[in-house]
Amino acid sequence: MQCSIDTYDFAGKKAIVRVDFNVPLNEKFEITDDTRIRAAIPTLKKVLEKGGALIIMSHLGRPKGVTEKFSLKHIIGRVSELLGVEVKFAADCQKAQAEVAELKPGEALLLENLRFYAEEEGKPRGLAEDATDQEKKDAKAAVKESQKEFVKTLASYADCYINDAFGTAHRAHASTALIAKYFPNDKMFGYLMEGEIKAIDNVLKNAQHPFTAVIGGSKVSSKLAVLENMLERVDNLIIGGGMGYTFIKAQGGQIGNSLHEDDLMPNALEILKKAKEKGVKIYISSDTLVCDKFAADANTMVVPSNAIPEEWEGVDAGPESLATWKEVLLNSKTILWNGPVGVFEIPTFAKGTLQIAQNLADATEKGAYTLVGGGDSVAAVTQMGYAKKVSYVSTGGGAMLEALEGKTLPGIAAVME
């Protein structure tokens, strides 16, 4: 049974909270972006305010064992500052019994990086390169077995479990999913998770129509499942960025040097066919900004997207496409945006992506629900200063992508079950 952080009685209880404190550090181990820590603070504060004690757990980076560089001790100062209490530290997440026993209401303890143990992910480490299939199988079985104890130890620290780590919700790891079964009546989502789940539901379950999805980015292959899931739900599908050229080439267009995937052309044609059957309108750029080299000082021109000269490469949507897309977006009641529609990292090629951000901001002002979900579009909207002008900006790249593919995320299912 799933509980709610707002109604749960934390007084005198210890809450073990999975957060995503996987923040970037520089070579001096200083945090260069604390967004992920800030995102979990409302949940952590709530537990303390209600008289609970916090056992905070997270991973940092991809260590293959105990590694100084990936120690969470580097972030204690910042977490303490943002939380407003002196956070204690347990230098081994599996040997924190003494620190946990001393923890009093209103206090917080941060456990060392969960991924210092292979059991967190449940994947074997240190296998010889020439390991046989049987050795690999045995190693996997061994880590799955020792994972049970690992989970049990973490669970033994607390009276209740909160998952507020959306960034790892698509992983069935010890701390993100397996631990939940130890708290059948005392498990819940934190505010960040609740916000993300609501945002996903707003587009996948409760969308107001017209519903438009803008799917961009580099490759069709990485977004195929999202495109297919969207076909079942949207009225309009705008396909932008590098992936658009696979669709254009598949229909016989000349795309010059533009990014494309020949092996995905049959899938592209299938999507176009399905869209027609379902009455979903597909918008692929009719004109394209092309360049003669992949750099800010390149020569550029606008050409029809299906007549790109040889040696030229499509890097952004052209003005005609952007005008069409603008009209579609401003007439939409729900918009999902995943993936930039051009090489936005280079300012000369960022106009299209900037305009999509502007269109989403304008549509939001007109009352539409707008969700920006997934890696680079989130970076674009934040970098361009539009994050506060849309309804929701997701914090989880891979997790959001899998949710948009229609998959059930293990971290969400474990708490809801």
DSSP string, 52-102: -EEEEE---S--SS--GGG-GGGGHHHHHHHHTS--EEESSTTS-HHHHHH
* DSSP H/E element including 32: none
Question: In the structure encoding, which two tokens stand for residue 375, read together?
Answer: 């890696």
Binding range to ligand AMP, per CB under 6 A, among 73-81, 211-219, 278-286, 357-365? 211-219
Does the annotation count 219 as an active-site position? yes
DSSP summary character for residue 178: G
Does the annotation count 84 as an active-site position? no
Of the candidates 61, 106, 375, 398, which one interacts with ligand AMP according to CB under 6 A?
Answer: 375
The single residue of 13, 123, 140, 219 carrying the catalytic annotation is: 219
| β-pair type (300-304, 287-291) | antiparallel
Site residue total, ligand AMP (CB under 6 A): 17
Task: Tell me the closest approach of the beta carbon of residue 328 to ligand AMP, in angstroms.
Answer: 19
342 in contact with ligand AMP (CB under 6 A): yes
Does the annotation count 104 as an active-site position? no
Of the candidates 80, 218, 254, 358, which one interacts with ligand AMP according to CB under 6 A?
Answer: 218
**Short-list 321, 382, 381, 320, CA closest to 353:** 381
For 5-33, b/e burial (b = at least 16 CB within 10 A) is beebebeebbbbbbbbbbbebeeeeebee
Task: Tell me the closest approach of the beta carbon of residue 201 to ligand AMP, in angstroms.
Answer: 23
259 in contact with ligand AMP (CB under 6 A): yes
Does the annotation count 279 as an active-site position? no
Return all residues near 331 (Cβ < 8 A) that are at least 6 apart: 210
Of the candidates 315, 354, 390, 400, which one interacts with ligand AMP according to CB under 6 A?
Answer: 315
Binding range to ligand AMP, per CB under 6 A, among 105-113, 127-135, 212-220, 361-369? 212-220
The single residue of 106, 253, 375, 406 carrying the catalytic annotation is: 375
343 in contact with ligand AMP (CB under 6 A): yes
Return all residues near 355 (Cβ < 8 A) that are at least 6 apart: 322, 325, 326
339 in contact with ligand AMP (CB under 6 A): yes
How far is 24 from 60, CA to CA, in rounded Å? 9
How many CB atoms within 10 Å of residue 250? 22
The single residue of 18, 36, 46, 351 carrying the catalytic annotation is: 36
Q: Which residues are catalytic?
A: 36, 219, 375, 398
Which residues form the interface with ligand AMP (CB under 6 A)?
Answer: 217-219, 222, 241-242, 259, 314-315, 339-340, 342-345, 375-376
